[in-house]
Amino acid sequence: MERQQVRQRIAENWAQVSDEVCEAAKRSGRQSDSVRVIGVTKYVDADWTADLFEAGCADLGENRPQVLWSKADSPSFPSEVVWHMIGHLQTNKVRRLLRYQPLIHSVDSERLLQLIAAESVQASVTTKVLLEVNISGDQSKTGLSPSEVDDLLQQDRGEGVEMVGLMAMTGLGADHATAQRQFEEVRELRDQLSRRSGLPLDELSMGMSGDFVDAIASGATMVRIGSRLFSGLLG
Ligand SMILES: *Cc1c(COP(=O)(O)O)cnc(C)c1O
């Protein structure tokens, strides 16, 4: 496909998804700008990723740090991108990743949280993070149990990181009703943990291409959408 056709298709997909997100927010009695779309670009190369940004998607998400930084560093890649790290993060990748000032959605251990804090202090930055909760109890999924999240929030937070909310994924193959219930559980957990910890925990990162409408109905503030944005373009 010609580059121009690709651009056009990505722009159309972006417009369509943005409309659906706005509609879902309004139907839930929320402001349409209360939900941010994180464009998940793990399926495509740096050129198509840049096309999505040009179409209007300022927030981009990658699940592998090496891919994030190789795109960010590629020639003429837009520098205004707000990066989101959404996949499992190995501790030896943290220092380099922090150069790109990402919001890290996938904090799934105390050790990782402490390291992000220490490296952020070293780099004189404050890194915003979400704690990834495994709500489905699915062993194949990463994430902290609700009680582990509670423990982390109770601890002395020190400097370097700001815990701004929770991230969750529904279980593999979850049907509509199950997904809805799990999103509600995440929201309730957040409300409860926010009261206990005294932290606002405003951000809820949940919902993907197949289930973002339900996630928005349950209070998602960030939806991580990948395949819908590239539909018609991936094999
Ligand atoms: C791939 C991925 C997404 C996007 O999934 P789609 O179904 O393609 O929208 C969202 N979150 C995470 C953590 C992912 O790895």
User: Which residue range(s) make up the domain with 133?
Assistant: 3-230
Ligand 1 nearest-atom number relative to CA 40: 4
Q: Is 195 among the domain residues?
A: yes
Q: Is 18 among the domain residues?
A: yes
Is 90 exceeded by the pLDDT of residue 195?
yes
Q: Is 235 among the domain residues?
A: no
Q: Whose CA is nearest to atom 6 of ligand 1?
A: 226
For ligand 1, say whether the CB of 43 is within 6 Å of any of its atoms. no
- Residue 174 CA to ligand 1 centre (angstroms): 15
- Residue 208 CA to ligand 1 centre (angstroms): 6
Q: Is 57 among the domain residues?
A: yes
Q: Is 32 among the domain residues?
A: yes
Is 90 exceeded by the pLDDT of residue 28?
yes
* Local confidence band at 155 (pLDDT 50, 70, 90 cut-offs): confident
The helix (H) or strand (E) run that includes residue 167 is strand 161-168
Give me the number of domains the chain comprises.
1
Q: What is the pLDDT of residue 38?
A: 98
Give pLDDT tens digits for 114-139: 999 999 999 999 999 999 999 877 77
User: Model pTM greater than 0.75?
Assistant: yes
Ligand 1 nearest-atom number relative to CA 63: 15
Q: Output 120-125 pairs: Cβ under 8 A, ≥24 positions apart.
A: 120/159, 120/160, 120/161, 121/159, 121/160, 122/95, 123/95, 123/98, 123/99, 125/98, 125/101, 125/160
| Ligand 1 pocket test target in 67, 170, 208, 214 with most atoms within 8 Å of CB | 208
Q: Is 179 among the domain residues?
A: yes
234 φ/ψ angles, rounded to the nearest 5 degrees: -95, 145
For ligand 1, say whether the CB of 143 is within 6 Å of any of its atoms. no
We report the CATH number of the domain holding residue 92 as: 3.20.20.10
- Residue 198 CA to ligand 1 centre (angstroms): 30
Ligand 1 nearest-atom number relative to CA 42: 1
- Pair 98, 127: CB distance under 8 Å: yes
